[in-house]
Amino acid sequence: MARGLFSNITGVRADIIIYDDVEVPNTSGTKEAREELRHRLDESRFILTPKGMQLFVGTPHCYDTIYAVDQAQKNLDQSDPYLDEFQDLRIPIYNENYESAWPDKFSKADIESLKKQVGPNKFESQMMLRPVNIAQGRLNPDLLQFYNDDLDYKEISRKPHLYLGGKQIASCSAWWDPAFGSAGGDASVLAIIFTDVDGKNYIHHIEYIRIDEANKDDEATQQCQKIASVLVQYYVPCVTVETNGIGKFLPAILRREIRASSHYASVIDHHTHFNKSQKIIEGFDAVMAAQNLYVHASISKTPFLNEMREWRPSASNTKDDGLDAVASALLQEPILIASGSQKGIRKNWSPTAQIFKAKT
């Protein structure tokens, strides 16, 4: 019996089920499609006899593939790979010595020609069996550089200094793109960017804000309390709140919660007129092309990297809330020109808290 993945096969029993290319672009292109694919595959197991066998034959079509067996390929919810308990057989088109698995069918020249014709992503996915997104993405997470350093706050001669990995921080930009509503809607995201004296940009923290249903405070207050605590944790001197839509009344609540936390930070209201796709392109393109964007390792546990892999300028149904917040923060950061000497580099971390007396 042969049936499509979404056909009705209830009322039958099977000793062997062969899943032939069930993961294709249509069933893996979005998070919702991948969840539906896993749901349909789970349903098929009900017709399997107790000692029956399941055989999956196919190639990966996305990073979050059902064929992942490596622990590094865990889902964002840190669950085990979908086929974690299955035996795995992979035969890429060539091995580590660049020897063809089928020299009578694919010579080195044929392999190189195929790679040029289909592009690097499709080749890696279909011929090398490495989980990537087969679509040609605009944002490539492979161009990011990761680090594990924490912020180091010091006061020298009663002046505040902030360091990251031994580098002095020259500026900080924090952007909050708020949202309310269902879990399937837009996410409420805070992005914090630091720039050191050499002009390197660090995405140090991205907060996908969640509320506690058991908390008696309203959702707006809970979100502002969370933002205030993050600002304190990362010594953020100023945060910009996007006031489009529901954000109009949030700055006032946020200022109240910041005062309650005994932290000094400015809150700037900002109404965005920029096209979101264009903003993401302008925010990321140059800094990623220069490989000047560093990302804290903790961000790999958030949806941010998956948003990068799946984002397309023309797509309207992909998640991009984290990308939007980070791009907005990057565009706010000043362009710093590194000096050959330390003269002229701003030493104080929080310049708004200092007093300067001019002789007139």
Instruction: Judge if 165 and 100 occupy the same domain.
Output: no
Whether residue 58 lies inside any domain: the answer is yes
The tokens describing 174, both together, are 């924090």
Whether residue 1 lies inside any domain: the answer is no
Q: Residue 252 sits in a domain of what CATH number?
A: 3.30.420.240
Segment 204-227 mean pLDDT: 90
The tokens describing 93, both together, are 């088109």
Instruction: Judge if 49 and 154 occupy the same domain.
Output: no
Instruction: Judge if 187 and 285 occupy the same domain.
Output: yes
| Pair 276, 323: CB distance under 8 Å | no
Dump pLDDT digits (tens) for 131-163: 776 665 668 787 889 999 999 998 888 788 899
Instruction: Judge if 42 and 102 occupy the same domain.
Output: yes
Q: Say whether pTM exceeds 0.85.
A: no
Whether residue 263 lies inside any domain: the answer is yes
Dump pLDDT digits (tens) for 112-129: 888 877 777 788 888 998
Q: Which of 286, 295, 282 is nearest to 206 (CA)?
A: 295
Q: How confident is the model at residue 308 (pLDDT cuts 50, 70, 90)?
A: confident
Whether residue 134 lies inside any domain: the answer is no
Domain end (from 126, 161, 194) = 126
| Pair 37, 28: CB distance under 8 Å | yes
Quote the CA–CA distance of 71 and 319 in Å, as a whole number: 24
DSSP category for residue 141: G
- % pLDDT > 90, the chain: 37
Whether residue 183 lies inside any domain: the answer is yes
Whether residue 161 lies inside any domain: the answer is yes
Q: Is the dihedral of CA 80, 81, 85, 89 positive or negative?
A: negative
Instruction: Judge if 111 and 161 occupy the same domain.
Output: no
Dump pLDDT digits (tens) for 239-271: 999 988 776 789 999 999 999 988 888 999 988
- Beta strands 14-20 and 238-242 are unpaired
Instruction: Judge if 317 and 184 occupy the same domain.
Output: yes
Dump pLDDT digits (tens) for 26-36: 888 777 888 89
- Helices (H), ranges, the chain: 25-28, 31-44, 108-118, 120-126, 219-233, 250-260, 276-289, 304-310, 321-332
Instruction: Judge if 208 and 339 occupy the same domain.
Output: yes
Range of the domain at 168: 141-353
Instruction: Judge if 264 and 344 occupy the same domain.
Output: yes
| Pair 144, 294: CB distance under 8 Å | yes
Instruction: Judge if 169 and 296 occupy the same domain.
Output: yes
- Cβ-based neighbour number of residue 45 at 10 Å: 11
Instruction: Judge if 204 and 301 occupy the same domain.
Output: yes
Number of structural domains in the chain: 2
Quote the CA–CA distance of 284 and 277 in Å, as a whole number: 11
Residue 253 in 3-state DSSP?
A: helix
Whether residue 136 lies inside any domain: the answer is no
Domain end (from 126, 158, 184) = 126
Q: Which of 257, 249, 253 is nearest to 232 (CA)?
A: 257
Domain end (from 103, 126, 149) = 126
Instruction: Judge if 82 and 179 occupy the same domain.
Output: no
Instruction: Judge if 119 and 223 occupy the same domain.
Output: no
Whether residue 334 lies inside any domain: the answer is yes
